[in-house]
Amino acid sequence: MSYSGLGVYQQQPPKRPSRAPLWIALAAVAVLLVGGGVTALVVLKSGDGQAAPTAASTTSTEAEPDWQPVDDEKAGLSYELPPSWEASGTGSSGRVKLSTTYVSRPFQCQGRSMIQAQAMAGSLVHDDPEQVAAELVDRIAAGGYTVNGAPPEIGEPRVESGDDGVVRLSVEVTPKSASACYAPKATVSAVAMRDGSEVAVFVLNVAEGGPHVAEGPSDEDVRRILGSVRQS
């Protein structure tokens, strides 16, 4: 698997050699995701990957309202995603163990298969949801959008803490390079909450604007995804 800058990676599935490589445009995550002995979604790392099959897509909840529910028992969270999103493995990002990861429907750009968004959930033994959320969001933003060694501009975190102990945090990310296949900016958001001795955290990483914005979630989709996160 080779890194090509601006959150782009190439997967070479070991069991499906005839499958075209999967790349990601600007919405990459700096994590090593491993499931069933197969490495997937690697940024600035190397290994083998497995590409998920392409499914029909929608960018509007009105066009296709039957979203898929995800119940992540290991993280202790449940959430909803558009029906076209595909499961993509498990693994870790820093100290956080990621037990579910999904990607939006791949699209073609300059002969490569790419995606615009990712969602993932995990947990960490900790007592501070805001600290866990901030650490994970910063790691994803910095790792996913660093280009040729130049880190992106990451805005100040926007934090909302509810009376129920749920912390919602997001940052705006602006990479220092772009091309015809990449969006000019991104938002990485997290929802975190205490679950016994652990913090359960959900992260949504979305490339915004650019020539392929319609391939990713709409603003309404993003609100619905983040609003659906619950303790299971």
Domain of residue 89 covers 32-231
Q: Is the dihedral of CA 50, 56, 59, 62 positive or negative?
A: negative
CA–CA distance from 138 to each of 29, 61, 184 (Å)?
11, 29, 18
Q: What is the pLDDT of residues 103-129, one digit of tens each?
A: 998 888 888 787 899 999 999 999 999
> Is 192 within 8 Å of 199 (Cβ atoms)?
yes
Q: Into how many domains does the chain fold?
A: 1
CA–CA distance from 5 to each of 32, 85, 155, 193, 231 (Å)?
17, 24, 21, 33, 36
Q: What is the pLDDT of residues 74-104, one digit of tens each?
A: 999 999 999 999 998 788 898 999 999 999 9
Q: Virtual CA dihedral for 186, 38, 229, 206, nearest 10 degrees?
A: 10
Is 83 domain-assigned? Answer: yes
Is 106 domain-assigned? Answer: yes
Tell me, what's the pLDDT at 45? 26
Is 3 domain-assigned? Answer: no
Tell me, what's the pLDDT at 10? 34
Within the chain, how many helices (H) and strands (E) appear? 2, 16
CA distance 128 to 199: 7
Q: What is the pLDDT along the chain (232 residues), one digit of tens a residue?
A: 222 233 333 333 433 333 333 334 443 433 333 333 222 232 222 233 333 333 334 444 444 458 999 999 999 999 999 999 999 878 889 899 999 999 998 888 888 787 899 999 999 999 999 999 999 999 999 987 877 778 899 999 999 998 888 999 999 999 887 667 778 899 999 999 999 999 999 999 999 988 888 889 999 999 999 999 999 8
Write phi, then psi, for 6 (nearest 5 degrees): 55, 40
CATH code of the domain covering residue 194: 3.40.1000.10
The model carries a pTM of 0.74
- CA-closest candidate to residue 73, choices 194, 202, 185, 231: 231
Q: What is the DSSP letter of 203?
A: E
Is 184 domain-assigned? Answer: yes
Is 9 domain-assigned? Answer: no
In the numeric block, which tokens belong to residue 73? Answer: 């028992």
